[in-house]
Amino acid sequence: PQLVAYRDYLLNEPHLQGVVSLKECITNPDLALNRGILEPLASLKRVGKIDCQNCVILIDALCDAEYHKPDHGDTITTFLLKHTPTFPSWLKVVGTVRTQFQELTKQLPYTRISLDKGNNDNVQKDMLDYINFRLQNSPSIQNNVTISTPGKVESGNVAQHKFSQHLLHLSQGSFLFAKLTLDLLERGHLVAKSSGYKVLPVNLAQIYLLHFNLRFPTVRSFDKVTHILSVCLSALYPLTLVEIYYSVNSLLVDKFLPWEEFLQRFKLLSGFLVKRL
């Protein structure tokens, strides 16, 4: 890790741990960023305890914060705009935003790179490299994309080339789409041996629908996790397990869900939800 010195600094300064706690980050985010992150990092850099030339903070989907825009205070975008002048030059911010919402970030003084529609040659090359890497290192994927027709067996290299080009076109620059599709093929949930690859999903919605259909084949099985998903998707910040538990029970009018049964239901969502400690 590049910031071990910062971690050690926090461990030795209990008052700073309080400054960057979740509670304080919500109550006073300006203080948390400046006193808990930027000032310590700048100090450690000055004394040579951080020797990397540049560090990057990645913030994905800045536009998603607009769905939960507060009645008062900052969104992530306006928060960044306010604090950008105080960032040290070696600490870079990389943010992503959907094309249709790029107006939300027009005031940020950042260099802009467009990845629209996969037209960027570097994105295409990176995507193809990733697909080929997964293909070459997974016999399961290779087996599930090799086309076989009566009287004709296509060579593995030709089949893999055709498949990689097809998935490259389908992905349209989305690494998430490519990864999830390859994961399904690797686990045997998809077998794409027809020449047109018609069995492959064409968007992320179809991939997630397939995942949920595999995990919850009946309405009754899905009903067990409906309230958990409702609570997690409507929350403005990541909830702890206990908070989810009490929120779920607040939705149940007729009966109280025991803790043990709640844990069993929560485990059904492993892979879909990441548990906070």
If one counts the domains in the chain, the total is 3
DSSP helix/strand/coil, 131: helix
Residues 99, 21 share a domain: yes
Burial 92-123, CB ≥16 within 10 A → b, else e: eeebebeeeeeebbeebeeeeeeeeebeeeeb
Name 34's Cβ contacts closer than 8 Å, sequence gap at least 6: 83, 86
pTM summary value: 0.67
Give the rounded percent of residues in the chain with a pLDDT score beyond 70: 94
Residue 272: inside a domain: no
Residues 199, 234 share a domain: no
pLDDT digit string (tens) for 25-82?
A: 888 999 999 999 999 999 999 999 998 888 999 998 898 887 777 777 788 899 999 9
Q: Which domain holds residue 53?
A: 4-114
Residues 169, 93 share a domain: no
Which of 50, 85, 114 is a domain's end point?
114
Residue 65: inside a domain: yes
Residues 90, 35 share a domain: yes
Instruction: Return the pLDDT at 138.
Output: 93
Q: Which residue has the higher pLDDT, 46 or 120?
A: 46
Which of 92, 114, 136 is a domain's end point?
114
Residues 175, 93 share a domain: no
